[in-house]
Each structure stands twice: as C-alpha cells, then as structure tokens.
Amino acid sequence: MLLIFGLKSVVRALPGRPATCPNCGRFVQHYLDEHARKLTLFFMPVLTTSRSYQITCANCGRVSSVSSRERKAMGA
C-alpha cells in the first residue's frame, strides 16, 4: 500500500482590528493572517503541525508576528 504524505502551508485571513502601529504611530486598521502548516495524507490536510499569526499595518505595511496569546487579546 502506498501512502502519500506531504506538508502544506495555509494562509487564512482573519478579521483584524484598528490598533496603534509601533512603526508609523498611526491608529489604523491592522490585518491579521493565520499561517498554518498542515500535514497532508493523500493531499488532504489531516493535522496542523504549527500555527503562527502575522499582523500587517494598513498604513505603512509593517508586518509583525504575534503569538496565539496576543492574538486572543486582539479578540479575533
């Protein structure tokens, strides 16, 4: 029997929220993206191996990583 495993990165856009940007100092909308790494079996995602979050400032485009605890604090 042949098993086909693989790894796949999935990016999901989550609702962001307005926040003060540490780079440009403006209170603007920030976009939140979830980057999940999934183990696939026969090209079907079966398991999430790691998950990280990134927020992007809508004004200056600065991207910063956030932990899942900080993400919860953002209420998303």
Site residues for Zn ion per CB under 5 A? 21, 23-24, 57, 59-60, 62
Based on CB atoms, which residue is closest to Zn ion, 31 or 40? Answer: 31
CB of 21 to Zn ion, least distance (A): 3
Burial class (CB within 10 angstroms; exposed 0-12, middle 13-18, buried 19+) of 50:
exposed
Q: Least distance to Zn ion from the beta carbon of 66, Å?
A: 15
The letter for the amino acid at 3 is L
Q: Of 67, 68, 60, give the one whose Cα is nearest residue 19.
A: 60
Cβ closer to Zn ion: 23 or 29? 23
